[in-house]
């Protein structure tokens, strides 16, 4: 009996070790793109702390999100569990690779990844890397697009963090395709600061609909070769194409715009303006404003006391062209303009204000004159139907001539001649009838009412 107990005591460590195990459990082996596989790693009677396990190798084929870790023991069996979600990076067949921990190794698990679907049809996820080989500080663009029938869907890029890499995000855009679907696109802009081969494992592209994240798409991991910049390239020299424009604002500020779709915003913001060599022009403190991550404007006030012609010198910028592997020198255009001193500006402003005042005053007088004249003409026209005699009509026509500044006390034939000069239609026939009515009433064969009507029609034309 004592010998049996001694043998069991000696075999106890081996029995304990034999009862330890490591297992990977998934809720499914088939999943749609953008949806997670719920995974648990269960370690039994393993002394190592499961929460410290390194499963970063899973990120090559999956997006990884840790949920929680837990442990429990009933006195005989100690169980540790680590729960996490895996999002396949590509459709088709993929594999959850073997996981090693505490001397144990799990069996790989095959996963089938299907196309994402929704009520209105499929959801297509696309991603691309613009380059596989770059220089240090040269842009790597990882572009992600989601094509869906949902007009009100949105995408958002998760924060991408990687040591030795500057990373920025572009704002999502939406375009409608000829198929009627909508394409949502956004990009990460990566600028590697260290040379060597690097693997990039992008985080999630969140697909939102009705205010909630419905899916999380993870672009594939890729290896990019980052070449070391030549030793003669200064540490702050921008890498990429630089666009420079300069102008003079009305408040005598020299505005120097620098922009680039492929230079790091950090390099662009810290770009040193070559103003030190300028001696014949005094500049105030330069203020920099950002229109966006890739567009900055430097405002340099021009200081002067006398009015004169100023010639702004050409500014020289140097950048590294990643395509040719050479330094590129850019020069801004020379600009000449006349600056006006403050006191002269004030004097010109006063003179201009006075001229404008006079013009406005004259315009108001002319306008009032036209309004008054039209009122008088309207009153005359309204009085024509009430005329009692041809002589009264003659008087009305003379009043009309005075209002139009044609003269006063005009005879009927003088009035008719001036009318023909001023107007496009003749009044001779009506004036002859009115003359007969005034001076030879017996020969006139037209009534007063008809005369009134014809005179009224003539003036209203």
Distance of alpha carbon 173 from alpha carbon 157, whole angstroms:
12
pLDDT of residue 411 exceeding 90: no
- pLDDT digit string, tens, across residues 303-341: 776 666 667 778 888 999 999 999 999 888 777 666 666
CA separation (Å) from 201 to 159, 191, 219?
A: 12, 15, 8
Report, at the CATH architecture level, how domain 18-114 is classified: Sandwich (2.60)
pTM across the whole model: 0.68
Which residue, among 200, 45, 51, has the nearest Cα to 127 in the 3D structure? 200
Instruction: Report the 3 state secondary structure along 195-234.
Output: CEEEEECCCCEEEEECCEEEEEECCCCEEEEEECCCCCCC
- Other C-beta atoms lying within 10 Å of the C-beta of residue 192: 24
Q: What tokens does 265 get?
A: 């915003």
**Rounded mean pLDDT of 397-424?**
82
Fold classified for 118-227: Immunoglobulin-like (2.60.40)
Q: Report, as an integer, the average pLDDT of 363-388.
A: 84
d(CA 86, CA 333): 55
Domain boundaries of the chain, sorted by first residue: 18-114, 118-227, 243-340, 361-460
The mean per-residue pLDDT over the stretch 175-187 comes to 95
Helix (H, G, I), strand (E, B) or coil at 459: helix
pLDDT in tens, 216-261: 999 999 999 999 999 999 988 999 999 988 888 878 888 889 999 9
The per-residue pLDDT for 177 is 94
Residue 447's contacts (CB-CB under 8 Å, 6 or more residues apart) are: none
* Residue labelled with tokens 């567009």: 295
Give the SS3 label for residue 384: helix
User: Residue 433 in contact with residue 413, Cβ under 8 Å?
Assistant: no
**Is pLDDT of 2 > 80?**
no
Q: Is-same-fold flag (18-114; 118-227)?
A: yes
Q: What share of the chain is helix, strand, coil (3-state, %, to 5)?
A: 25, 40, 35
- Write the CB contacts of 259 (distance below 8 Å, at least 6 apart in sequence): 242, 243, 268, 294, 295, 296
350 exposed, middle or buried (CB, 10 Å; 0-12, 13-18, 19+)?
Answer: exposed
d(CA 353, CA 242) in angstroms, rounded, equals 44
């Amino acid at each position: 009996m004592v010998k049996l107990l001694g043998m069991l005591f000696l075999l106890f460590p081996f029995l304990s070790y034999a009862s330890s195990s490591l297992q990977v459990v998934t809720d499914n082996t088939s999943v749609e793109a953008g949806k997670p596989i719920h995974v648990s790693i269960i370690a039994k009677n393993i002394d190592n702390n499961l929460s410290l396990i390194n499963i970063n190798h899973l990120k090559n084929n999956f997006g990884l999100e840790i949920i929680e870790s837990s442990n429990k023991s009933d006195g005989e069996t100690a169980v540790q569990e680590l729960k996490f979600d895996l999002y396949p990076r590509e459709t088709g067949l993929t594999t959850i690779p073997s996981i090693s921990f505490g001397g144990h190794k799990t069996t790989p698990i095959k996963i089938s990844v299907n196309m994402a679907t929704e009520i209105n049809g499929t959801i297509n996820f696309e991603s691309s890397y613009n380059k596989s080989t770059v220089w240090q500080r040269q842009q790597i663009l990882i572009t992600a697009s989601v094509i869906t029938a949902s007009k009100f869907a949105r995408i958002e890029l998760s924060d991408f963090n990687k040591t030795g890499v500057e990373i920025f995000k572009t704002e999502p855009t939406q375009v409608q395709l000829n198929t009627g679907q909508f394409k949502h696109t956004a990009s990460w802009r990566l600028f590697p600061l260290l040379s060597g081969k690097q693997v990039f494992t992008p985080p999630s592209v969140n697909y939102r609909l009705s205010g909630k994240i419905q899916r999380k798409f993870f672009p594939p991991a890729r290896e990019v070769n980052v070449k070391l910049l030549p030793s003669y390239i200064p540490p702050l020299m921008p890498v990429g194409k630089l666009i420079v424009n300069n102008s003079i604002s009305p408040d005598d500020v020299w505005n120097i715009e620098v922009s680039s779709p492929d230079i790091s915003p950090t390099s662009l913001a810290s770009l040193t303006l070559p103003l030190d060599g300028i001696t014949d022009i005094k500049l105030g403190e330069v203020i920099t404003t950002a229109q966006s991550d890739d567009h900055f404007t430097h405002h340099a006030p021009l200081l002067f006391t006398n009015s004169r012609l100023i010639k702004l010198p050409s500014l020289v910028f140097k950048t590294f062209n990643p395509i040719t592997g050479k330094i590129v020198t850019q020069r801004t255009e020379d600009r000449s303009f006349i600056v006006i001193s403050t006191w002269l500006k004030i004097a010109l402003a006063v003179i201009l204000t006075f001229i404008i005042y006079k013009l406005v005053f004259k315009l108001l007088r002319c306008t009032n004159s036209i309004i008054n004249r039209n009122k008088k003409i309207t009153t005359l026209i309204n009085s024509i139907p009430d005329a009692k005699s041809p002589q009264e009509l003659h008087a009305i026509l003379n009043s009309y001539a005075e209002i139009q500044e044609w003269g006063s006390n005009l005879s009927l034939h003088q009035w008719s001649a001036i009318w023909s000069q001023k107007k496009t239609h003749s009044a001779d026939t009506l004036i002859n009838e009115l003359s007969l009515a005034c001076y030879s009433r017996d020969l006139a064969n037209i009534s007063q009412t008809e005369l009134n009507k014809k005179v009224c029609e003539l003036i209203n034309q």
